Structure 1
Amino acid sequence: MFSEINAKLIDIQGELRKRDKYQAQLEDYEKELETIEDRLSQLRIQFESEQEDVEKLERISLSSILATLTGTKDEKLSKERQELISAQLKLEEAAKAKIEIDDEMLMIRNKLIELNNTEYEYQQLLLQKENMIKVSDSPYAEKVFELSEREGALLAYIHEIDEARVAGKHVEGSLKKAIKSLEDAENWGTFDMFGGGTISGFVKHQHIDKAESYIHQAQKNMRHFQKELLDVQETAHIKVDISELLKFADFFFDGFIADFMVQGKITKSLEQTRGHYRKVRDILAKLEAQSEEKGQELDVIQREKHELVERL
């Protein structure tokens, strides 16, 4: 009977940790959703403004004719179109992020509904545990239950670390693919500069398109990673500013696509992506160290509990 209720207590502690984690994640998503909605509003205004600028330059008017005669119209139109493309890409990226956040929030709310009765079940188990300790003749009963609670808390924490590590691995994988695509784009761009021609330019653009896709995926994975770190970040002594990493894709959509012909833009984007890749790997290393440390603590507790259970 002692073993049965101990197992139940360990399981219910894990459920309680999940509930607390989901509630913290939901609150964080709500703040993020508010921020992304404000950003969407600003980006729509910016996009409409850039669109209007392009349309003005394309309309036939006296100022348009004069600009054509002085040779400045094509230059201005090209610049305005680049700014329009940049605004459109940032707007599309923000819209994708909002949909993804809405989906995640719905999923978490459904998980919380499944855990509605967890607190009641835990209190009932505590009452059952207290009664068993009172009627037990063994002096070790209370200590066994105490060790079981510590065991349950550690198992739940290690599980959370493992979930964070899985999420971080997904970010690492997306960034690694983005780096490879940007490296390929940089190489083909260098070849293009030395007379590679139309084919090299086309291949370079293909690699940039792939990089854009991988960076969006990394951004999505980073958001999930950040949420998984909410309840382990302080204990695992992780000091990295995750909010900074969440914004890492901004540089890519802020004029980069419009200016992809400039080789320096590819190099700069590659350097920044590599920097964020290193930061993510640093977080993963700290999580692994924390998992090993807590695993050793768990082994000690489980051995001590096993020895006491044999005496009951």
Structure 2
Amino acid sequence: MYSEINEKLVEIQGKLHKKEKYDLQLEDYKRELQIVEQELGDLRERLKSEEKDVVKLESMSLKNLVAILSGTKEEKLSKEKQEMIAAKHKLEEAVKTKMVIDEENLKLQNALKAFEKIEEEYHQLLSQKETIIKSGTTRFAEKVFELSGKEGSLKAYLVEVEEAISAGNYAKSALEDARSSLEKAEGWGTWDMFGGGALSGVMKHQHIDQAEALLHKAQTNIRQFQKELLDIREQAHLKIEISDMLKFADFFFDGFIADFMVQGKIQQSLEQIRLQTNRVTEILLNLTAQLEKKRRELENIQKEKQEIILNL
């Protein structure tokens, strides 16, 4: 009887850990959603302001005619249009981010429905366990239950670490793809500066467009990686502030269109991607070491429990 309850306790502990993780992730997504919604409001106001500036400059007032004659209006108009495009682009990226967060929130809410009665089931099993221990049918029952508790916690932790490593590998791969596209853009940009002609300019822009899409994917994957780390960061002794990982893409999407044609901007962005890739790699190495350590602990616990059961 107690062997069956042991197995159920190990299984249910895994489900409890999963529920705790989903609750943490949902709470973090809600917090992030508030920030994104505030940003969306600010960006919409900024875009309206930039559009007004362009319309104002394009009107044919006497003041504007003087500006045209002095050669200053076109330069200023070009700058205002760039700022308007940059604001529009940042707004579009924020809308995409909100869509991703909304989708993840819905997934988590649906996933949590499967665990609505899990705590009730757990307490029922604990009650049965207590009854068996008090009955004194075997003097080793309490020790076996204790080891099963440790086994359940370790198994649940290992599952979470494996899921975090998987998410981290996806994030790292997306960063490397974005880096590759930017390196190609950098190469075509260098050729363009030395008179590469129309082809080099077109190819450079194509790789920049591709890099932008890949950076959005990388940001999404990093967000998922960050959420997977929420419930294991303390036990895994992570020294890197994972909340900062979500901020790196702002460097790219703020003024992406306005500034990205500048060769120096590409080089700066490449440096940012390399830095972020190194941070993800460092966390993955830490998690892999934790995984091996906890696997050995689990093997020892299972071996000790098995020896007790065989001697009953």
TM-score for both structures, normalised by structure 1: 0.97
The 5-angstrom pairing of residues 171-182 of structure 1 reads 171-182=171-182
Deviation at 1:64, TM superposition (A): 1.6
Identify the residue that residue 99 of structure 2 maps to in structure 1: 99
SS of residue paired to 2:196: helix
Alignment of 1:296-307 (within 5 A): 296-307=296-307
One-letter amino acid of the counterpart of residue 66, structure 1:
V
CA–CA separation in structure 1 for the residues paired with 2:145 and 2:274: 48
- Quick one: which amino acid aligns to residue 156 of structure 1? A
Take 1:96 and 1:261, find their aligned partners in 2: how far apart are those partners? 23
Q: Deviations over 1:261-299 (max 9, x none)?
A: 211011011111111011011111111111111111111
User: What does 1:1-312 align with in structure 2 at a 5 Å threshold?
Assistant: 1-312=1-312
Q: Equivalent residue of 1:43, what SS? A: helix
- SS of residue in 2 equivalent to 1:306: helix
Root-mean-square deviation (Å): 1.1
| Cα distance in 2 between the residues matched to 1:108 and 1:56 | 47
The TM-score with structure 2 as length reference comes to: 0.97
Secondary structure at 1:174 match in 2: helix
What is the distance in 2 between the residues matched to 1:245 and 1:117?
35
Distance of 2:79 and 2:71 partners within structure 1: 14
Structure 1 gap ranges (5+): none
Q: Distance in 2 between matches of 1:105 and 1:48?
A: 30
Tell me the amino acid that sits aligned with residue 118 of structure 2: T
CA contact (8 A) 1:256 1:265 kept: no
Amino acid at match of 2:142: E
- 1:216-266 Cα distance to aligned partner (Å, 9 max, x none): 011111111111111101111112122221011111122232123211011
SS in 2 for 1:257: helix
Q: Deviation of residue 103 (structure 1)? A: 1.2
Moved more, 281-290 or 254-263: 254-263
- 8 Å contact from structure 2 (residues 90, 255) kept in 1: no
- Deviation readout 1:26-77 (Å, 9 max, x if unpaired): 1111111111111111111111111111111112111221111111111111
2:6–2:148 Cα contact (<8 Å) kept:
yes
Could you tell me how far 1:134 is from its partner in structure 2?
A: 3.1
- Measure, in 2, the Cα distance between the counterparts of 1:174 and 1:16: 31
Q: Distance in 2 between matches of 1:12 and 1:252?
A: 44
* Structure 2 residue identity aligned to 1:155: K
Q: How far 1:137 moved relative to its partner?
A: 3.2
CA–CA distance in structure 2, aligned partners of residues 69 and 272 of structure 1: 43
Q: Aligned partner of 2:101: which letter?
A: I
Distance 1:260 1:223 in 2: 24
Displacement of 1:107 in angstroms is 1.1
Distance in 2, matches of 1:10 and 1:40, equals 45
- The amino acid of 2:107's aligned partner reads M
Question: Aligned with 1:196: secondary structure?
Answer: coil
> How far apart are the structure 1 equivalents of 2:227 and 2:46?
30
Instruction: State how far apart, in whole Å, the 1-side matches of 2:23 and 2:198 are.
Output: 53
Distance 1:233 1:63 in 2: 60
Residue type at the aligned position of 2:54: V
